[in-house]
């Protein structure tokens, strides 16, 4: 049976939002609630927690058992956004000033720390059997840790002189792969599936994460990432994108020199002409086409992984992969 | 029997350091190990985790059962130091440049986040019964959260116009009280004590935390806090100290105006003459004497709490309180 992912996201979204508000009450006078809700109100479609609940239901589990974990994932996601915006120096997110810009770096770091505490609290107060709860704590901590390790590689790869596609995929597997798989793994745990199923879902994340990140890198060059619709933020930030990795490997020495020179510039020193120059180099080496093909190949591989998941009904994984691929075009 | 706290800290220190190195291996090439060990190598006496193990042993438990939790506390402590140094703009710690100064803000935030992941991982991999492990996860998360909530009050009380002793103690109970009690609570959990015992230890933290923080505030004005031996860093930072809280309440309008003016100045704009002026105002209103008496009164109250702990042998709590009081003079 076909699953309506869009519809399910809307339905589960209400449950997720209700528990999110219970876990982090808005309008508390504690210097935490205000910056956090400034950020949460800017949007976010709760896609990741919804995917957890959809997976749980489709695998025969009770979504209420996965709900607290799903909300913890959403909180973790937002905690990373708060800290990443400081680390990346991003001043706008979803067309609003970022938390560190509006409330200062100190409050933004601390608000992120608080979110993480509430995420753990949310899992700990989950009304499920303690063996499942322990598994949730395990996979949540694993995901949190791997994402941070990936972020460390990401920060330090900016404007790097020896960046490669291999380094890029290693970094992105860590930074986005675990996070992407985590919700589906959570759904599989609540519905009582075996470690063999779970291992396969983690593996799935290692292909889907990089695939979607590459597509995200491409979006920055075509329609911008919703930060005021600006094109090429990644170039201004010197961000370690797939395009940068690939072009670093294949470009002529002269092009590579120009590329690194622009990518290592401070954001405010990077001109529009610089951005255009980088785009020209990317185009010259067919980096965009290559990225597109590379991402599509990863998605094909992800589909093979799904075929190997040792359960009968794999529709949910195929549908989630399709849904996410569609969002990324 | 008298417990030699100093000696026990040394003995347990080796076990703690060994597991700490196992949990966060030094010299990994991941942009995390280097900043973290730059910080860890600057010192730290592992007092907090040792207190956990001492409490465990003296209450009849097996310290090996509490070891992983003890190390998690030490990691949490260092995670807070990394983030707090950014939030406070502190450039030196234990006479070394702080992590954000040496490795940049992005790496310092991320290294703190990584420490927290490793702390949870350490508890999760603890070789103890799962009910005790779950209790550890509960109290660790509680302590982490309350400390962050206290930090939010602290950051935002800097140079505040309406700061009071009540606000100060509320803030410090949160920021240091849970953290101080957490190790002893951990020792009581490993040795299988009841919730009544544990509740009483938490209560103990609410008196001991503020007592020691007030003494710490005083040290800043007498011998400095080991950041190059500078006196009055708290004044330069506009930090919400007991002295500031008390003087805000009792000072004349003129003195209060001068005080707030200096405390709200940016650190680099605060002159030595400003620091002297604030000290003069503190002295005029006997703030130091009052702080000393207030702290001693809290310690007396802490001792009454110890008397009410529903177990026979209370020596360990008295000895720990004495030891910490002595360190603070």
* Interval A172-229: pLDDT, tens: 999 999 999 999 999 999 999 999 999 999 999 999 999 999 999 999 998 876 556 6
Q: What percent of chain A has pLDDT over 70?
A: 98
ipTM for this prediction: 0.95
Average pLDDT of chain A to the nearest whole number: 94
**Residue appearing with tokens 């996965």:** A66
Using the beta-carbon criterion (under 8 Å), do A106 and B88 form an inter-chain contact? Answer: yes
B122-126 long-range Cβ contacts below 8 angstroms, 24+ apart: B122/B19, B122/B23, B122/B68, B122/B69, B122/B71, B122/B72, B122/B75, B123/B68, B123/B69, B123/B72, B124/A134, B124/A137, B124/A138, B124/A141, B125/B68, B126/B65, B126/B67, B126/B68, B126/B69
Give the separation between CA B216 and CA B213, rounded to whole angstroms: 5
Using the beta-carbon criterion (under 8 Å), do A156 and B31 form an inter-chain contact? Answer: yes
Alpha helices in A223-268 (DSSP H): 233-237, 242-250, 253-263
Hey, where are the domains in chain B? 5-327
Class of residue A227 by CB neighbours under 10 A (exposed 0-12, middle 13-18, buried 19+):
middle
Q: Which of B30, B72, B113, B157 to mutate to test the interface with A (most CBs of A within 10 A)?
A: B113
Angle at A133 between CA B72 and CA A322, to 5 degrees: 110
**Residue A235: per-residue pLDDT:** 92
In the three-class reduction of DSSP (H, G, I as helix; E, B as strand; rest coil), residue B96 is classed as strand
Confidence check: pLDDT of A329 > 60: no
Using the beta-carbon criterion (under 8 Å), do B155 and A113 form an inter-chain contact? Answer: no
Q: How far is A158 from chain B (nearest CA, A)?
A: 12
* Interval B96-145: pLDDT, tens: 999 999 999 999 999 999 999 999 999 999 999 999 999 999 999 999 99
Q: Which residue of A87, A111, A134 is in closest CB contact with B130?
A: A134
DSSP assignment letter at A3: -
Give the separation between CA B318 and CA B313, rounded to whole angstroms: 10
**Residue B269: per-residue pLDDT:** 93
For A32, the closest chain B residue by CA position comes to: B152
In the three-class reduction of DSSP (H, G, I as helix; E, B as strand; rest coil), residue B93 is classed as strand
Q: Which of A117, A130, A182 to mutate to test the interface with B (most CBs of B within 10 A)?
A: A117
**Residue A226: per-residue pLDDT:** 57
Q: How far lies B256's CA from each of A80, B159, B250, B260, B263, in Å?
A: 41, 11, 9, 6, 10
Beta-carbon contacts of B121 under 8 Å, excluding residues fewer than 6 positions away, are: A141, A145, B23
Using the beta-carbon criterion (under 8 Å), do A124 and B117 form an inter-chain contact? Answer: no
Query: Do the Cβ atoms of B209 and B176 come closer than 8 Å?
Result: yes
The top-scoring range by mean pLDDT among A84-93, A113-122, A231-240 is A113-122
Per-residue confidence band for A247, with pLDDT thresholds at 50, 70 and 90: very high
What's the CATH number of domain B5-327, 3.40.190.150, 1.10.10.10, 1.10.600.10, 3.40.50.1170? 1.10.600.10
Using the beta-carbon criterion (under 8 Å), do B105 and A86 form an inter-chain contact? Answer: yes
**Residue B161: per-residue pLDDT:** 84
Q: How far is B111 from chain A (nearest CA, A)?
A: 8
- DSSP per-residue codes, A50-118: HHHHHHHHHTT--HHHHHHHHHHHHHHHHHHHHHHHHHHT--EETTEE-HHHHH-HHHHHHHHHHHHHH
For A157, the closest chain B residue by CA position comes to: B31
User: Once rounded to an integer, what is the mean pLDDT over residues A318-323?
Assistant: 92
pLDDT beneath 50, residues of chain B? none
Q: Which residue of A110, A138, A155 is in closest CB contact with B107?
A: A155
* Interval A9-24: pLDDT, tens: 999 999 999 999 999 9
* Interval A95-126: pLDDT, tens: 899 999 999 999 999 999 999 999 999 999 99
Beta-carbon contacts of A68 under 8 Å, excluding residues fewer than 6 positions away, are: A19, A122, A123, A125, A126, A127, A128
Confidence check: pLDDT of A60 > 60: yes
**Residue B1: per-residue pLDDT:** 61
Q: What percent of chain A has pLDDT over 90?
A: 84
**Residue B160: per-residue pLDDT:** 84
Confidence check: pLDDT of A129 > 60: yes
In the three-class reduction of DSSP (H, G, I as helix; E, B as strand; rest coil), residue B92 is classed as strand
- Residues in B closer than 8 angstroms to A267, CB to CB, are none
């Amino acid at each position: 049976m076909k699953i309506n992912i869009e519809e399910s996201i809307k339905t589960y979204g209400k449950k997720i939002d209700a528990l999110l508000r219970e876990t982090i009450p808005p309008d508390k006078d504690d210097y935490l609630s205000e910056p956090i809700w400034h950020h949460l109100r800017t949007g976010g479609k709760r896609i990741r927690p919804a995917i957890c609940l959809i997976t749980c239901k489709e695998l025969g589990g009770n979504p209420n058992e996965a709900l607290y974990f799903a909300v913890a994932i959403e909180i973790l996601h937002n905690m990373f956004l708060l800290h990443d915006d400081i680390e990346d120096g991003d001043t706008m997110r979803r067309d609003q000033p970022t938390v560190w810009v509006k409330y200062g770096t100190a409050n933004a770091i601390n608000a992120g720390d608080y979110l993480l505490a509430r995420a753990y609290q949310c899992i700990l107060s989950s009304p499920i059997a303690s063996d499942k709860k322990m598994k949730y704590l395990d996979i949540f901590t694993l995901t949190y840790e791997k994402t941070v390790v990936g972020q460390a590689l990401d920060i330090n790869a900016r404007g790097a002189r020896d960046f490669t596609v291999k380094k890029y995929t290693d970094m992105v597997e860590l930074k986005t792969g675990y996070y992407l798989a985590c919700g589906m793994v959570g759904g599989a745990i609540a519905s009582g599936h075996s470690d063999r199923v779970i291992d396969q879902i983690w593996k799935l994340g290692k292909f889907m994460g990089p695939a979607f990140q590459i597509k995200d890198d491409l979006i920055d060059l075509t329609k911008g990432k919703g930060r005021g619709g600006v094109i090429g933020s990644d170039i201004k930030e010197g961000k370690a994108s797939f395009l940068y990795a690939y072009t670093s490997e294949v470009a002529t020495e002269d092009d590579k020199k120009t590329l690194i020179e622009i990518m290592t510039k401070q954001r405010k020193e990077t001109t529009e002409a610089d951005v255009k120059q980088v785009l020209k180099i990317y185009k010259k080496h067919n980096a965009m086409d290559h990225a597109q093909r590379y991402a599509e190949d990863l998605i094909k591989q992800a589909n093979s992984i799904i075929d190997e998941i040792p359960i009968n009904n794999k529709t949910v994984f195929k549908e989630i992969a399709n849904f996410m691929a569609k969002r990324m075009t």
